[in-house]
A and B are shown apart, each in its own frame.
Chain A
Amino acid sequence: MKTIQQALLLALCICVSGCSPVAPWQRGTLAKPQMALESYPLQSTFNAHIYGSREAATGSSAAGGGGCGCY
């Protein structure tokens, strides 16, 4: 498991450092509904409730935002 985490962290570093700057007008793809971090928020809430009542690992995911350069 440790390995998986390390691999993911490494991937993260590579990505962040290797990011190509995306101009505000180049974010049409990122703004597509299928690119939303949470595609179906209400269903996710429902599922999280079920998982939370069946598994020991409780909620608390983090982050959000970003995406399109719209204000």
Chain B
Amino acid sequence: MAVIKRILTKRHAENAGNSLLTMAYRQLSERLLTRTITKPKPTTAVSASLQALTAAALSLPGLMPATAQAADEEVSFLYGYYEESNRNLFGVNSRFDPIVVDSLLGSSKIKLSDRLKFAFNYTQDTWSGATPIATAPLSFGGNKEGGVISGATPFLQNNGVLFDKQLNPLRQDALTGEYIKDSQLVHTLSSASPEIRKQGDFKLSYEWDEATLDAGGGISVENDYESRFGNLAGRWDFNRKLTSLNLGLSYTDSDTRAILDHDATPYIFDVGRGAESYNNTSGSGRIQKEGRNNVLRGNRQDWGTALGLTQVLNETALLEAGIGYTRSTGYMANPYKVVEAAFIDPAQTGEVLTGVSIGLLEKRPNERNQWTENLRYVQYIGGLDAALHFDYRFFHDDWGINAHTFEADWVQPLGHGWTITPKVRYYSQDAADFYTPYMASNQAFSKTAVDQSGRPIYVEADNPDNGNVYFRDKDFNLVDADGKIVDEIAVNPINKAIPFDRNKLPGHYSSDHRLSGFGALSGGLTVSKQFAKGVSFEAGAEYYTHAGSMKLGGGGEGAYADYNYYTVNAVLKVDLSALSLAGSEHSGHAGHNHHGGHAPAGVMFDHMMDKAGDVMFGARYMNSTQSGAMLHGTNEVSDQAIVQQGCGDDGCFTVPGGMNMNMIMLDLMYAPTDWLTLMLMPQFVDMDMSTRELNGAPSATFNRQSLINHHTLHEHTTSGIGDTGVYAMFKLFDEAGHHLHGTLGVSAPTGDVGVKFRDTHRIDAGFQHYGMQLGSGTWDFKPSITYSGKLDKYGWGAQLNSTIRLEHNNETGFAFGDMFQSTAWGSYSLLNWLSTSVRGVYTVQGSIRNEYNGTFNKLGPVDYPANHGGRYWDVGFGINAFVPTGSLQGNNLSFEWLQPVSDDVNGYQLPREGALSATWSYAF
């Protein structure tokens, strides 16, 4: 409390120098206490770092409960989906869909020795959709309808907003012309192209009988934000393990690098000269010109410590208490959020005052000290064999935020491995001291500069800051400072303008809804099922409701900012130690097709399960890259030729500079009988593409040039769930070292084929390139036949496979070409656990049929269906490791590099650089 009071006092002291603004600001704040405010968006810079910190804290080994049941060695995957409700825009029809996030988490733990454990986690989030970037009175019209495209887009550079003398916003009635006080606020929404965040982190733990020491670290990477973190934690058990003491320390270092491009023009003040204006108003030099982009850079560091105590209370209850302190310093603002500021010239008379409103990038303090105190209580409920979990957490910081979190979970086992867990959570927070939905400043936005004698000052329009000043003499001649008449045409004079005084704005301001006062209530349910052989499955869902009116003690933001979201998630977990634990009857069961003759990592459908009841769990990763000089058929081709021939009559403007694709596939196999193996393969993909302008491209219209800039100034990414494969594998022949099986299956169109670019200059940028979509959009038939053989240390095999589109076009209008592939390989075992392989691959793929049926701006060869597919030769070099015995028995890890040998492309395309495949599987 003392801290908060001190801050309030400090702020008042700061503001004392400009009482007018203070008054306006105070009035505003007071009004807002009862009215409403803002909300921001999910995960840009700030949240990502919060996330990183949270993840770091959660992965602090000492902070994770070590239950009797926690498996020593385990692999688990989570897929989660988040979707927000629409925001209330008061009758304005937004152009944007609400935010959705796809998350994928993979987690593995293994023992390196009896007491040394290693854990690795991988996280990937993709989000897209609309988010509030500012808040303003409804009368400002921050969501502007009309123009070239349908639906509202952000527009916040308003000249002529109206206020009464008490600085209440006014709205002019369309019918009567009357001015009506209208304090209704509304968010301004903007949207982004899909963005992706990837995080990898690890933890190494050493266990003594009564203590554990953990060290971990990781990195989280986004286009505009990167965090690196490390942590240390220790746990000491004493009192015969009735009490544990935990101590954790974490450090995070994060960099923001945000491109503030022309798309922000409608809502970030003077972004054209943005560097100066932001640097002016913020008093910092964060924004620099880099090439053709304005780039905002910031660094932030977080140090966190936590101390916890866990106590067994009795045979049926457990209590944990903890305190934490985190100190953050540096750039903690969100580089895309603005605070709408209205400037009202105090010289005005009359009842209706006119103001100029602009969006200023938010400013937060460079320091934040945060404290948390938490209690967790777990009570066993005897009669029901259930457990009640109760958590309470108190958070406070020196930004003026106090927050309370209450959570209760009821974990109810139902028998046969089923458990059902309902939960309820309530959260409430106060607003930050510097939170304001918008600002009204009692000063002119800009004034004409005059000298001491009252003469207007002129400067050179082309170079206003060069220090030369001019005046008019009494004959209206332009004269320089010495009174000499100058050449008016050469000088090109304009009035020197004095911009508003930033010192009359508050020191810090933000309209980020995460810093506003609100309450949130959520409820959820998790169902889990433990199968035999250490496999378990969980499914969870939660519904969350955010409302200013639910804030503890009242005074939260207005109802305009309320929203809801829901999440669903599914988890698959395999306990790797279950097999070795279950005794020795499994040894000798490690065989499958692994010994010696394992196929290279890049070959799918390469083996079946041996026996009825066998299960395999695996993950595949593939990365492929295209870059280099454009090809036409097998030959490199000049820009000139592409411009003239690559894009039909329109001509080509751009070509891709490079493209990357990453795929993660989960591989679940089950053999109901000896001769049949069923397989399910969900996929997650992400891609990025850079684009360059072609030399000698035809001149473009304004709109087209805007789109070209949009493509060439940024790398574009897409990411999310890909198509899902369902297959059946049939054993055809299996004897004396020779094995033959056929696979029939379909790929279901679960991947999105309607991914679009974000708008630019209020132009609908339309669909992304064909190759950047997340799936095929069509149901595809995927047959294959595989032969494999082995003799001593040698293995060999061959496969024919095909992808046949079962539809002529998908929901967005096109269909990829059919694909046929043949491959053959040989392998040699160097050791009983290690083998190498070499293989050849020939692939033929047809061009795209039909084309997009919606807005699509064709700029380069990638946008024309004929420039897809081709005939390709590759050679693969692989390595394969298999664990034949021990606690990790049945695990297999293989890698393969596929080197392109020859590309013969249809039309004009980028050459392939190669592909890396990594496959892990666990059969039991």
A19 to B576, CA, bound (A): 37
Nearest 7 CB-CB pairs, A to B?
Answer: A62-B322, A63-B308, A62-B308, A59-B54, A65-B244, A31-B68, A37-B65
Q: Are A31 and B538 in contact (CB under 8 A)?
A: no
Q: Which residues of B contact A27 (CB under 8 A)?
A: 68, 312, 315
Residues in chain B within 8 A of chain A (CB atoms): 42-43, 47, 50-51, 53-59, 62-70, 76, 78, 80, 82, 101, 103, 105, 107, 123, 125, 209-210, 212, 235, 237, 240-244, 246, 248, 304, 306-324, 326, 370, 372-376, 378, 380, 385-387, 389, 392-395, 397, 399, 401-405, 409, 411-413, 419, 421, 427, 429, 432, 514-515, 520, 526, 528, 538, 540, 542, 544, 546, 552, 565, 567, 569, 571, 573
A62 to B234, CA, bound (A): 12
Q: Which residues of A contact B246 (CB under 8 A)?
A: 62-65
Q: Which residues of A contact B65 (CB under 8 A)?
A: 36-38, 64-65, 67
Known pairs A20-B314, A59-B55; list 12 more (Cβ under 8 Å).
Answer: A1-B404, A22-B315, A24-B241, A45-B78, A45-B105, A54-B546, A56-B401, A57-B372, A58-B395, A62-B246, A63-B306, A65-B235
Q: Which residues of B contact A67 (CB under 8 A)?
A: 65-68, 310, 312, 318
B317 — nearest CB in chain A belongs to which residue? Answer: A15
Q: Are A46 and B80 in contact (CB under 8 A)?
A: yes
Selected from A4, A21, A35, the residue in CB contact (under 8 A) with B318 is A35
Known contacts A19-B313, A24-B241, A69-B240; A64/B235 CB under 8 A = yes
Known contacts A31-B68, A57-B395, A57-B401; A46/B567 CB under 8 A = yes
5 contacts between A and B (CB under 8 A): A19-B311, A27-B312, A34-B386, A47-B542, A54-B47
A24 to B312, CA, bound (A): 11
Known contacts A19-B312, A53-B42; A60/B240 CB under 8 A = no
A window 5-40: CB within 8 A of B? 5, 8, 12, 15-16, 18-22, 24, 26-27, 29-40
Total residue contacts A-B, CB cutoff 8 A: 285
Q: Are B63 and A56 in contact (CB under 8 A)?
A: no
Residue A3 at the chain B interface, CB threshold 8 Å? no
Selected from A15, A24, A58, A71, the residue in CB contact (under 8 A) with B50 is A58
Q: Are B419 and A33 in contact (CB under 8 A)?
A: yes
Task: Name the distance in Å between A28's Cβ and chain B's nearest Cβ.
Answer: 8
A62 to B432, CA, bound (A): 24
Q: Are A40 and B312 in contact (CB under 8 A)?
A: no
Known contacts A22-B242, A35-B67; A53/B419 CB under 8 A = no
Q: Which residues of B contact A1 (CB under 8 A)?
A: 394, 402, 404, 552
Q: Which residues of B contact A56 (CB under 8 A)?
A: 395, 397, 399, 401, 403, 429, 432, 514-515
Q: Are B315 and A26 in contact (CB under 8 A)?
A: yes
Task: Name the distance in Å between B302's Cβ and chain A's nearest Cβ.
Answer: 9
Selected from A15, A20, A33, A47, the residue in CB contact (under 8 A) with B69 is A33
B380 — nearest CB in chain A belongs to which residue? Answer: A29
Selected from A42, A44, A70, the residue in CB contact (under 8 A) with B68 is A70
Selected from B307, B319, B326, B540, the residue in CB contact (under 8 A) with A58 is B326
Q: Which residues of B contact A71 (CB under 8 A)?
A: 209-210
Selected from A37, A55, A60, the residue in CB contact (under 8 A) with B57 is A60
Q: Are A44 and B546 in contact (CB under 8 A)?
A: no
Q: Are A39 and B411 in contact (CB under 8 A)?
A: yes
Known contacts A40-B421, A55-B520; A5/B394 CB under 8 A = yes
B236 — nearest CB in chain A belongs to which residue? Answer: A65
Q: Which residues of A contact B392 (CB under 8 A)?
A: 4, 8
Q: Which residues of A contact B53 (CB under 8 A)?
A: 52, 58-60
Q: Are A52 and B326 in contact (CB under 8 A)?
A: no
Interface of B is mostly: strand
Known contacts A57-B403, A62-B324; A41/B378 CB under 8 A = no
Q: Are B67 and A15 in contact (CB under 8 A)?
A: no
A68 to B544, CA, bound (A): 34
Q: Which residues of B contact A38 (CB under 8 A)?
A: 64-65
Known contacts A42-B107, A52-B50; A66/B312 CB under 8 A = yes
Q: Are B315 and A29 in contact (CB under 8 A)?
A: yes
Known contacts A32-B380, A61-B372; A37/B310 CB under 8 A = yes
Task: Name the distance in Å between B121's Cβ and chain A's nearest Cβ.
Answer: 8
A20 — nearest CB in chain B belongs to which residue? Answer: B314
Residues in chain A within 8 A of chain B (CB atoms): 1, 4-5, 8, 12, 15-16, 18-22, 24, 26-27, 29-71
B406 — nearest CB in chain A belongs to which residue? Answer: A4
A47 to B520, CA, bound (A): 14
Q: Which residues of B contact A65 (CB under 8 A)?
A: 62, 65-66, 212, 235, 237, 244, 246, 310
B63 — nearest CB in chain A belongs to which residue? Answer: A64
Q: Which residues of B contact A22 (CB under 8 A)?
A: 242, 312, 314-315
A40 to B210, CA, bound (A): 25
Known contacts A4-B392, A57-B401, A58-B395; A34/B413 CB under 8 A = yes
Q: Which residues of B contact A32 (CB under 8 A)?
A: 69, 380, 385, 387
Selected from B212, B318, B538, the residue in CB contact (under 8 A) with A40 is B538
Q: Are B243 and A55 in contact (CB under 8 A)?
A: no
A53 to B41, CA, bound (A): 8
Q: Which residues of A contact B103 (CB under 8 A)?
A: 46, 49
A57 to B544, CA, bound (A): 16
Q: Are B63 and A63 in contact (CB under 8 A)?
A: yes
Task: Name the distance in Å between A56's Cβ and chain B's nearest Cβ.
Answer: 5
Task: Name the distance in Å between B793's Cβ and chain A's nearest Cβ.
Answer: 40
Q: Are A64 and B310 in contact (CB under 8 A)?
A: yes
B61 — nearest CB in chain A belongs to which residue? Answer: A64
Selected from B123, B320, B571, the residue in CB contact (under 8 A) with A37 is B320
Q: Which residues of B contact A34 (CB under 8 A)?
A: 380, 385-387, 411-413, 419
B78 — nearest CB in chain A belongs to which residue? Answer: A42
A4 to B426, CA, bound (A): 15
Q: Are A12 and B319 in contact (CB under 8 A)?
A: yes
Q: Are B58 and A64 in contact (CB under 8 A)?
A: no
Q: Which residue among B101, B319, B544 has the maximum number of chain A CB atoms within 10 Å of its CB?
A: B319
Q: Are A64 and B326 in contact (CB under 8 A)?
A: no
Q: Which residues of A contact B304 (CB under 8 A)?
A: 60
Q: Are A40 and B242 in contact (CB under 8 A)?
A: no
Q: Are A68 and B68 in contact (CB under 8 A)?
A: yes
Q: Are A54 and B315 in contact (CB under 8 A)?
A: no
Task: Name the distance in Å between A45's Cβ and chain B's nearest Cβ.
Answer: 5
Q: Which residues of A contact B567 (CB under 8 A)?
A: 46-47, 50
Q: Which residues of B contact A51 (CB under 8 A)?
A: 427
Q: Are B311 and A15 in contact (CB under 8 A)?
A: yes
Q: Which residues of B contact A64 (CB under 8 A)?
A: 62-66, 235, 244, 246, 308, 310, 320
Q: Which residues of B contact A29 (CB under 8 A)?
A: 315-316, 380
A43 to B317, CA, bound (A): 23
A68 to B411, CA, bound (A): 18
Q: Are A24 and B240 in contact (CB under 8 A)?
A: yes
Task: Name the distance in Å between B671's Cβ and chain A's nearest Cβ.
Answer: 27
Task: Name the distance in Å between A69's Cβ and chain B's nearest Cβ.
Answer: 5
A15 to B310, CA, bound (A): 12
A5 to B396, CA, bound (A): 13
A53 to B409, CA, bound (A): 22
Task: Name the distance in Å between B50's Cβ and chain A's nearest Cβ.
Answer: 4
Q: Which residues of B contact A46 (CB under 8 A)?
A: 78, 80, 103, 105, 567, 569
Known contacts A42-B105, A66-B312; A49/B55 CB under 8 A = yes
Q: Are B413 and A52 in contact (CB under 8 A)?
A: no
B101 — nearest CB in chain A belongs to which residue? Answer: A50
